[in-house]
């Protein structure tokens, strides 16, 4: 891998060297490195581009890294990754995609991730998106994530897109069986003329299933964001979704939290707030000696931390 690819890898997966445990690194549409462990197998798909990640039942405290790097302008990449997470396992999965586009053609990565989370398994999933480069070509990411959670399983998803992605359309769908628990924490910042759509549909199908889908975002300049989160309660379950956004410059934000209850014991809550940075917050930080710009940057960084 070249230095650009290594730097992007550090941005999206906090990887500064070859990770421990299982990994699959994809660079410009090709496999750039792979490692498996006794409990975690990674197999290339034959009919379409992508991999199957198979985690044995009972696998504890292991991690899988599957970062993707695009550094060729004009590259269009579509992959299907399927995760089979065995019963009673407890694992960390780090995905992430970074695009470096210095050319004039659009670069695009569409990752379709399907998670099959076994009974009582616990998964922590981290996905970071990052873009850079000086070219006219756009950096486009359109991830589709499907999560199928069996009884008693839990999954925590951290979705981060802080910088440099021109256009993103994120679709996430989850189905939870009895006692399953899903927590989503999304952090998003858009700037320039960027466009970001984030769409969640979470179905709580079993008793005591629960979901908490929370987005914090900052929209700057002329960027546009849409956050559409729908929680469907089909059983005695609990669901909460929240969108908290800071709007700056000439940006536009549409927040669409939705709840659908199909069971009398479904307890569902949504919250949404959009507002600019409070003037008194800036004044307070200025009394500590920060300039107005520094104060604004601190407030945004803190909000997205």
Partner 1 sequence: MLTLENVSFEVQGEKGQKEIIRDINLTIDDHKFVVITGPNGGGKSTLAKLIAGIEKPAAGRIYFGGTDITNLGITERANLGISFAFQQPVRFKGIQVLDLIRLAAKRSLSAADACQYLSEVGLCAKDYINREVNASLSGGELKRIEIATVLARNTKMSVFDEPEAGIDLWSFQNLIQVFERMRKSTDGSILIISHQERILNIADEVVVIADGQITGQGPKEEVLPKLLGTASAVDACAKFYREGDKR
290 counts as binding partner 1 under rule CB under 8 A: yes
By CB under 8 A, tell whether 292 contacts partner 1: yes
- Please state the closest distance from residue 295 (CB atom) to partner 1, in A: 8
Contact code string over 191-220 relative to partner 1, x by CB under 8 A? -------------------------x----
Decide: is 280 part of the binding site for partner 1 (CB under 8 A): yes
Give ∠ CA 210-216-221 in degrees, rounded to 5. 155
Both tokens of 254, joined, read 């549409």
Nearer to partner 1, 148 or 303 (CB): 303
What backbone phi and psi angles, to 5 degrees, belong to 7? -65, -40
Three-state DSSP class for residue 218? strand
Closer CB to partner 1, 174 or 213, in the complex: 213
Question: Looking at 82, 244, 263, 267, which residue binds partner 1 (CB under 8 A)?
Answer: 244
Nearest CA to 106 out of 29, 166, 170 is that of 166
**C-beta of 100: minimal distance to partner 1 in Å?**
29
Euclidean distance between CA atoms 129 and 163, whole angstroms? 8
Which residues, 99 to 138, sit near partner 1 by CB under 8 A?
none
Compute the half-sphere exposure of residue 7: CA atoms within 13 Å on the CB side of its CA.
9
The reply on whether position 299 binds partner 1 by CB under 8 A is yes
Other CB atoms within a 10 A radius of the CB of residue 92 amount to 16
Least Å distance, CB 271 to partner 1, is 13
Binding test (CB under 8 A) with partner 1, winner from 38, 47, 61, 289? 289
Q: What is the separation of C-alpha 119 from the centre of its chain, rounded to a whole number of angstroms?
A: 23
The two tokens of residue 198 are 């984030």
302 binds partner 1 (CB under 8 A): yes
Q: Which of 23, 287, 296, 297 binds partner 1 (CB under 8 A)?
A: 287
**189 binds partner 1 per the rule CB under 8 A:** no
On the 0-12 / 13-18 / 19+ scale of CB atoms within 10 A, 232 is buried
Nearer to partner 1, 197 or 248 (CB): 248
Q: What element of type H or E holds 279?
A: helix 279-287
Q: Which residues bind partner 1 (CB under 8 A)?
A: 216, 244, 278, 280-281, 283-292, 298-299, 301-305
């Amino acid at each position: 891998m070249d230095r650009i690819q290594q730097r992007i890898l550090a941005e999206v997966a906090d990887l500064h060297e070859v990770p421990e445990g299982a990994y699959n690194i994809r660079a410009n549409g090709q496999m750039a490195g792979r490692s498996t462990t006794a409990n975690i197998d990674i197999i290339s798909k034959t009919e379409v581009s992508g991999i199957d990640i198979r985690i044995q039942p009972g696998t504890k405290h292991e991690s899988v890294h599957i970062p993707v790097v695009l550094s060729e302008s004009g590259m269009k990449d579509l992959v299907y990754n399927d995760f089979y997470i065995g019963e009673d396992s407890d694992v960390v999965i780090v995905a992430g995609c970074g695009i470096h586009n210095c050319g004039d053609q659009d670069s695009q990565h569409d990752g379709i991730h399907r998670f099959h989370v076994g009974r009582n398994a616990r998964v922590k999933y981290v996905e970071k998106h990052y873009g850079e480069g000086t070219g006219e070509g756009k950096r486009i990411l359109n991830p589709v994530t499907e999560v199928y959670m069996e009884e008693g399983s839990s999954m925590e998803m951290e979705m981060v897109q802080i910088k440099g992605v021109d256009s993103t359309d994120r679709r996430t769908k989850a189905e939870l069986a009895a006692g399953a628990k899903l927590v989503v924490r999304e952090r998003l910042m858009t700037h320039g003329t960027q466009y970001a759509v984030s769409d969640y549909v979470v179905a709580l199908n079993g008793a005591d299933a629960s979901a908490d889908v929370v987005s914090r975002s900052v929209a700057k300049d002329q960027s546009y964001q849409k956050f559409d989160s729908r929680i469907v309660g089909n059983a005695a379950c609990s669901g909460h979704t929240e969108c908290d956004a800071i709007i700056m410059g000439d940006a536009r934000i549409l927040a669409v939290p939705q709840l659908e209850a199909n069971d009398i014991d479904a307890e569902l809550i949504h919250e949404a707030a959009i507002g600019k940075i409070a003037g008194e917050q800036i004044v307070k930080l200025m009394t500590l000696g920060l300039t107005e710009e520094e104060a604004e940057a601190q407030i945004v960084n803190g909000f997205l931390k």
